[in-house]
Every structure is written in structure tokens, then in C-alpha cells.
Structure 1
Amino acid sequence: MTILDMLTQLETHPLVNPSIPKTSYMALDLSVDNSELKAVNVSDAEDLERYIWKSMVANKAKIAYGGYLEKRGIYQRSTYFNQTHPETERNIHLGLDLWIEAGTPIFAPLSGTIHSFKNNTNYGDYGPTIILKHHSEGIEFYTLYGHLSLASIEDLEVGVEVTQGAQIATLGTAEVNGDYPPHLHFQIIHDIQDFSGDYPGVSNQLDLPFYKDNCPDPNLLLKLY
């Protein structure tokens, strides 16, 4: 069985309040191809947040989602991502984002253990981050949760078991989450390599074949589209 087959077959708990129906979710395009973003200062968290919430209100949505393999211009504001050569500039998003207000509880979609956690404080980075380790059908894999609150990583211990559906975190504000509008970055990782509390969530064009293979579409678990 491949990891893609296994992920497709798993039954998961929603990442946020399960009482919110999927009809209250909307797809959000933050790619460089979205002409509406030409009128938005995507480098400013407040301006981008106004655009996101305006879109959600217009669509009567409670949660906006999207971003897997999306090429974005938002990372050009940060030297942590921005490189001089187009092929080495990291601007292709490897996770799936859920845009929702700060303080929102986040739940474990699957049972697992705490692999690692860290406050990634680079400008434009994850901020507080948790990584869970999972096993299914003989396959080991990981899920990453970025842009959390500082309280989410207090008093955690590596190796502690997490049950499916348990609350594991709350979302952080722009002040702690890398200076983004509040949202959850959710990512699947097959081989964690030597990373701890962190893993690349944005790729350049040269490395994309590796990361596309190592970080499958999170929608295989979330089933939002």
C-alpha cells in the first residue's frame, strides 16, 4: 500500500469545530494568478486580513481554505523566503491553510504522538508549531500545525500520546504567527528528515518534485474538495 492509498482510506476528525458544516467553508485563492490581489498589499497582515474576511462575508463562509502547491507573492516581503534567482525563490506553498479567527481551537485529525514543537520566529515563518507522528498500515508519517498561539506549545512533552479529536492547540495572532492573518497551516510529511519542530512549508521550483512527493495533498485527509 502506498502512502497516498493509506491517507485516502483514513477516517479523520475535523481540524476545527466539527459542528461547522462543509457548506460553510469556501475556497480562497491567494496565488499570483488572482487579479483581485493586485489591489491588496499582501505584505501587510491587516490589509490581507481585510481582503480575506471580506471574501468570507461575501460568500457567507465561516472558514476559508486553500493553498496546496499555490504559487504566492506574499513571501516576497521576507528575506527568509526571497532569493535573487527565480528558480530558488521559495514561493510554492506545501500545506493547506484554514483561515479563521485567532483563538480558534485546533483538534487532532488522527491519533498519534507529539514528535516535536518549536516557536519558529523568523519573519514570515510559522511562529509556534506542533508536529505529530502517526502510524497506519505500517507507514509512518507526520502532520504539522503552524501559526499557533504561544500557549499551544507550553507544557508539551515529546512522545506524549494524542488521541483523535483531542484539542491540541489554538490559533495565534499576527503578533506571534509570523505576521499573517490568523490561520492554520496544515501539512502532511512522509519523511521528516532531521527536522524538529519545523519543516519547510514553502518550496522553490527546483526542489518542488521532492517536496510534492514528500508532502502529499492535505486534502487527502481533510476531504474539503
Structure 2
Amino acid sequence: MTKILEIFRCIEAAKVIAPEIDYNDYIALDLSISNLELQNHKLETAQDYEIFIQNHLDKNQAKIAFGGYIETRNLYQRSTVFKNTNSDERNIHIGLDLWINETATIHAALVGKIHSFQNNTALGDYGPTIILEHEIEGIVFHTLYGHLSEASLLGKKVDDVVTKGEQIATLGLPPINGDYAPHLHFQIIIDMEEKTGDYPGVCSEKILDFYKNNCPNPNLLLKIN
């Protein structure tokens, strides 16, 4: 684990969404249960979140809002994917979200190949999803791109080679994207655990330690200021 973190720190910053937008035009966004501002807004639908996020962008004269790694959130409670009677509630986000209320291109963080892809159609899930596989200095790991457009999956084949910065998709809109305000869920995954086309992006507190190790902070690759 130490070696791969060192590798990530040495890699040049990767832009995975709308690369023409400078990091100076990014603003952090807190959607955690500890953000008291959220309690002053009725946030139930994708449109509610779009308005809230756009107001945050406008207030800060920003174009993309980012954040959410290891953030405990309430926004998943509407979905049985995350809250049901058969398992522990999953409410801790283990990827990094990049929110932008407009069409945007999605780009590969690093050179690699397509590991898998599929449309995860359940309410609150990723919607169309692409997972890439990378290898650096003999270490294999993966990056996941969730909440894409349906067209992003057309023409894709497993093992297709991609280059760093290559456009691999476009951002999805609700309800196709799992019915969220438009955003990219970007996640690093070391061990895919034999999963294809999907991997948990939200976990329960009980198994958080495992996912913190298997899914290190995506900002190690993005290097957002």
C-alpha cells in the first residue's frame, strides 16, 4: 500500500472531467451530515440538489464543485441499494464527486485499458459506469467513472487501450445517471474483488477500514488545489 501511494504522489495531476476548466474554478462542496446548511434546504430530488449545487457554484464564482471522500451522507436513504432491512446502512462515500450542471466530457486519469463497463440501473446507483485497469511499476489498480451517459457505453470493448487524458465518456443526466444531480463519481480501486462493471462507492461504517485501504483518496491522482 505504501508503494502505490508513493507512485500516486509522483504522478502528474490528472483531469477527469472537462479538462478545459482550471482548478482555480473548482470549489469544495460538503454534503456530509455535519453540514448544518443542508438542514435549511429541502433536498429530496435530483432537481433539489441541482439547484443547491448551482447556488453554491454561483456564490463562489466556480464552475465545478468537488469533494465527498470518506464523507457520511444522508442522501442515499431514498434507495434500497444503500438502506434496507437485510444489511447495514451504507452511507459513507468512498469516491470523489465532481459536480457540474451541464454536459461535460469525461477523460481517463491514466494510460490503461477497459476493465469492464455496464449500466447499473437501480435508483441511486451509478447508472452507466466504466472501469479502467492500470499498471505502474508492476502494481495493478483501477479507476471507476460513474454516472455517465448511456451513449458512453456504445462501442466499448473490454481490453481496449486508453491513453491518459483520452475522452472515454460524457456526463450523464438524471434519471439515467442513477437520478442524481449531474456529477462524476471518480474512485480508485486496488482490488476489484472479481467484480465487473460495478464496485461499491458507498460503504457502512463497519467495513470502512477495508475500503479506505482498497480505495485510497482519488485526489492523490487529481491533485485538486
Shorter-chain TM-score tier:
over 0.9
TM-score using structure 2 length: 0.96
Distance in 2 (CA, whole Å) between partners of 1:46 and 1:182 is: 10
Distance in 1 (CA, whole Å) between partners of 2:34 and 2:130 is: 31
Provide the residue aligned with 1:141 in structure 2: 141
Matches within 5 A, 1:34-45: 34-45=35-46
Change (3 A) 1:17 1:79: closer
CA contact (8 A) 2:50 2:101 kept: no
Alpha-carbon offset, residue 84 of structure 1:
4.9
The CA deviation string for residues 88-136 of structure 1, in whole angstroms up to 9 with x for no partner, is 2100000000001342001112110000000000110000000000000
Provide the residue aligned with 2:171 in structure 1: 171
Alpha-carbon offset, residue 42 of structure 1:
2.9
Aligned length, in residue pairs: 224
CA contact (8 A) 1:103 1:171 kept: yes
The CA deviation string for residues 130-183 of structure 1, in whole angstroms up to 9 with x for no partner, is 000000011000000000000000110000000111100000111200110000
Change (3 A) 1:102 1:20: closer
Distance in 1 (CA, whole Å) between partners of 2:93 and 2:34 is: 14
CA contact (8 A) 1:101 1:171 kept: no
3-state secondary structure, aligned to 2:72 = coil
Alpha-carbon offset, residue 18 of structure 1:
2.8
Distance in 2 (CA, whole Å) between partners of 1:165 and 1:205 is: 34
Distance in 2 (CA, whole Å) between partners of 1:122 and 1:167 is: 26
Distance in 2 (CA, whole Å) between partners of 1:204 and 1:42 is: 22
The sequence identity of aligned pairs, in percent, is 54
Moved more, 12-21 or 178-187: 12-21
RMSD of equivalent CA atoms: 1.4
Whether 1:72 and 2:73 are equivalent positions in the alignment is yes
Distance in 1 (CA, whole Å) between partners of 2:59 and 2:102 is: 20
Distance in 1 (CA, whole Å) between partners of 2:84 and 2:119 is: 23
3-state secondary structure, aligned to 2:101 = coil
Distance in 1 (CA, whole Å) between partners of 2:92 and 2:51 is: 23
Matches within 5 A, 1:101-180: 101-180=101-180
3-state secondary structure, aligned to 1:74 = coil
Distance in 1 (CA, whole Å) between partners of 2:74 and 2:212 is: 19
Provide the residue aligned with 2:55 in structure 1: 54
Distance in 2 (CA, whole Å) between partners of 1:117 and 1:54 is: 33
CA contact (8 A) 1:188 1:216 kept: yes
The CA deviation string for residues 170-203 of structure 1, in whole angstroms up to 9 with x for no partner, is 0011120011000000000000111101000000
Unaligned runs of 5+ in 1: none
CA contact (8 A) 2:17 2:184 kept: no
Unaligned runs of 5+ in 2: none
3-state secondary structure, aligned to 2:76 = helix
Q: Which runs of 4+ in 1 moved over 2 A?
A: 16-19, 39-43
Distance in 1 (CA, whole Å) between partners of 2:30 and 2:85 is: 25
3-state secondary structure, aligned to 1:75 = coil
Structure 2: which amino acid aligns with 1:30? Answer: L
Distance in 2 (CA, whole Å) between partners of 1:90 and 1:14 is: 28
TM-score using structure 1 length: 0.96
Distance in 2 (CA, whole Å) between partners of 1:13 and 1:219 is: 9
